[in-house]
Structure 1
Amino acid sequence: MTSRAEQLDPVVRARLVCPQDLGELIDAGDELYNPRLRVAYAIDELGIPNMLIADARKVGDDEHQLLAGESKEK
Protein backbone atom coordinates (compact mmCIF):
# COMPACT_ATOMS: atom_id res chain seq x y z
CA MET A 1 0.00 0.00 0.00
CA THR A 2 1.38 3.40 -0.93
CA SER A 3 1.35 6.36 1.41
CA ARG A 4 -0.66 9.51 0.82
CA ALA A 5 2.57 11.40 0.14
CA GLU A 6 3.52 8.90 -2.58
CA GLN A 7 0.07 9.25 -4.16
CA LEU A 8 0.36 13.00 -4.68
CA ASP A 9 0.48 14.10 -8.31
CA PRO A 10 4.20 14.42 -9.15
CA VAL A 11 3.71 17.88 -10.68
CA VAL A 12 1.91 19.12 -7.57
CA ARG A 13 4.39 17.41 -5.22
CA ALA A 14 7.36 19.04 -6.96
CA ARG A 15 5.89 22.48 -6.22
CA LEU A 16 4.96 21.94 -2.57
CA VAL A 17 7.26 23.69 -0.11
CA CYS A 18 6.99 24.55 3.55
CA PRO A 19 4.86 27.68 3.97
CA GLN A 20 7.07 28.83 6.85
CA ASP A 21 10.57 28.74 5.36
CA LEU A 22 9.76 27.91 1.70
CA GLY A 23 12.12 24.94 1.91
CA GLU A 24 11.90 21.37 0.68
CA LEU A 25 9.62 18.86 2.42
CA ILE A 26 10.25 15.16 2.99
CA ASP A 27 7.58 12.55 2.18
CA ALA A 28 6.65 11.03 5.54
CA GLY A 29 3.83 8.56 5.02
CA ASP A 30 0.57 10.49 5.31
CA GLU A 31 2.40 13.75 5.97
CA LEU A 32 4.96 16.10 4.47
CA TYR A 33 7.80 16.86 6.88
CA ASN A 34 10.08 19.87 7.30
CA PRO A 35 13.20 18.63 9.13
CA ARG A 36 14.60 22.15 9.59
CA LEU A 37 11.62 23.39 11.63
CA ARG A 38 10.53 19.93 12.83
CA VAL A 39 6.93 20.29 11.73
CA ALA A 40 4.69 17.92 9.75
CA TYR A 41 1.78 18.80 7.47
CA ALA A 42 -1.01 16.23 7.18
CA ILE A 43 -2.39 14.90 3.91
CA ASP A 44 -6.09 14.07 4.22
CA GLU A 45 -7.86 10.94 2.96
CA LEU A 46 -8.67 12.71 -0.33
CA GLY A 47 -4.96 13.36 -0.91
CA ILE A 48 -5.12 17.07 -0.13
CA PRO A 49 -2.15 18.42 1.87
CA ASN A 50 -3.04 20.78 4.72
CA MET A 51 -0.32 23.38 4.41
CA LEU A 52 -1.70 25.77 7.04
CA ILE A 53 1.01 26.84 9.49
CA ALA A 54 -1.47 26.83 12.38
CA ASP A 55 -2.32 23.16 11.69
CA ALA A 56 1.28 21.91 11.42
CA ARG A 57 2.20 19.21 13.93
CA LYS A 58 5.33 19.64 16.06
CA VAL A 59 7.72 16.69 15.87
CA GLY A 60 9.85 15.55 18.82
CA ASP A 61 13.50 14.49 18.78
CA ASP A 62 12.98 10.72 18.41
CA GLU A 63 10.45 11.05 15.59
CA HIS A 64 12.62 13.67 13.88
CA GLN A 65 15.58 11.28 13.82
CA LEU A 66 13.36 8.58 12.32
CA LEU A 67 11.82 10.86 9.67
CA ALA A 68 15.04 12.63 8.77
CA GLY A 69 17.03 9.39 8.65
CA GLU A 70 19.52 10.58 11.24
CA SER A 71 21.41 8.15 13.43
CA LYS A 72 21.13 8.36 17.19
CA GLU A 73 24.52 9.45 18.44
CA LYS A 74 25.17 10.57 21.99
Structure 2
Amino acid sequence: MSTRAESIPQVVRERLVCPQDHGPLLDAGDELYNPRLRVAYPIDADGIPDMLVSDARNVTDDAEHERLTASR
Protein backbone atom coordinates (compact mmCIF):
# COMPACT_ATOMS: atom_id res chain seq x y z
CA MET A 1 0.00 0.00 0.00
CA SER A 2 1.46 3.35 -0.98
CA THR A 3 1.31 6.50 1.09
CA ARG A 4 -0.39 9.70 0.06
CA ALA A 5 3.03 11.31 -0.45
CA GLU A 6 3.97 8.50 -2.86
CA SER A 7 0.76 9.05 -4.82
CA ILE A 8 1.76 12.60 -5.82
CA PRO A 9 2.97 12.54 -9.45
CA GLN A 10 6.77 12.84 -9.63
CA VAL A 11 6.66 15.93 -11.85
CA VAL A 12 4.51 17.68 -9.23
CA ARG A 13 6.53 16.35 -6.28
CA GLU A 14 9.78 17.71 -7.73
CA ARG A 15 8.32 21.22 -7.71
CA LEU A 16 6.76 21.26 -4.24
CA VAL A 17 8.68 23.28 -1.67
CA CYS A 18 7.84 24.66 1.73
CA PRO A 19 5.86 27.89 1.35
CA GLN A 20 7.66 29.34 4.37
CA ASP A 21 11.35 28.84 3.58
CA HIS A 22 11.11 27.57 -0.02
CA GLY A 23 13.24 24.56 0.86
CA PRO A 24 12.70 20.87 0.07
CA LEU A 25 10.14 18.73 1.86
CA LEU A 26 10.42 15.12 3.01
CA ASP A 27 7.81 12.52 2.14
CA ALA A 28 6.29 11.57 5.49
CA GLY A 29 3.45 9.19 4.74
CA ASP A 30 0.29 11.25 4.57
CA GLU A 31 2.19 14.52 5.00
CA LEU A 32 5.08 16.49 3.56
CA TYR A 33 7.57 17.47 6.26
CA ASN A 34 9.96 20.39 6.60
CA PRO A 35 12.59 19.29 9.14
CA ARG A 36 14.18 22.75 9.26
CA LEU A 37 11.04 24.46 10.57
CA ARG A 38 9.50 21.28 12.02
CA VAL A 39 6.18 21.68 10.23
CA ALA A 40 4.11 19.07 8.41
CA TYR A 41 1.72 19.79 5.56
CA PRO A 42 -1.21 17.37 5.20
CA ILE A 43 -2.09 15.51 2.02
CA ASP A 44 -5.81 14.90 1.56
CA ALA A 45 -7.44 11.58 0.63
CA ASP A 46 -7.31 12.54 -3.06
CA GLY A 47 -3.53 12.99 -2.87
CA ILE A 48 -3.61 16.78 -2.98
CA PRO A 49 -1.13 18.46 -0.63
CA ASP A 50 -2.44 21.33 1.48
CA MET A 51 0.41 23.83 1.35
CA LEU A 52 -1.29 26.57 3.36
CA VAL A 53 0.88 27.74 6.23
CA SER A 54 -2.23 28.15 8.37
CA ASP A 55 -3.06 24.43 7.93
CA ALA A 56 0.46 23.17 8.67
CA ARG A 57 1.00 21.14 11.82
CA ASN A 58 3.89 22.02 14.15
CA VAL A 59 6.02 19.06 15.18
CA THR A 60 7.19 19.85 18.69
CA ASP A 61 7.94 16.32 19.87
CA ASP A 62 11.61 15.36 19.37
CA ALA A 63 10.76 11.66 18.98
CA GLU A 64 8.27 12.41 16.20
CA HIS A 65 10.80 14.66 14.46
CA GLU A 66 13.38 11.85 14.61
CA ARG A 67 10.85 9.37 13.21
CA LEU A 68 9.92 11.69 10.34
CA THR A 69 13.58 12.31 9.42
CA ALA A 70 14.89 8.78 9.94
CA SER A 71 16.29 7.06 6.84
CA ARG A 72 15.58 10.01 4.55
TM-score higher than 0.5: yes
| Structure 1 runs, 4 residues or longer, greater than 3 Å off | none
Offset, 1:63: 0.3
Q: What is the DSSP-based 3-state SS (H/G/I as helix, E as strand, rest coil) of the residue aligned with 2:2?
A: coil
Match of 2:35 in 1: 35
Describe the superposition over 1:36-69 as per-residue Cα deviations: whole angstroms up to 9, x where unpaired. 0000000000111000001100112110011111
Could you say which residue in structure 2 is the equivalent of 1:11? 11
1 CA distance for matches of 2:5 and 2:47?
A: 8
Residue 23 of structure 2 corresponds to 23
Identity of aligned residues (%): 66
The structure richer in helix per residue is 1
Aligned position for 1:57: 57
Give 1 or 2 for the bigger CA radius of gyration. Answer: 1
Count of paired positions = 70
TM-score (norm 1): 0.91
Structure 1 unaligned blocks of 5 or more: none
**C-alpha distance in 2 between matches for 1:54 and 1:61:** 22
Whichever residue aligns with residue 19 of structure 2, its letter is: P
Secondary structure (helix, strand or coil) at the match of 2:63 reads: helix
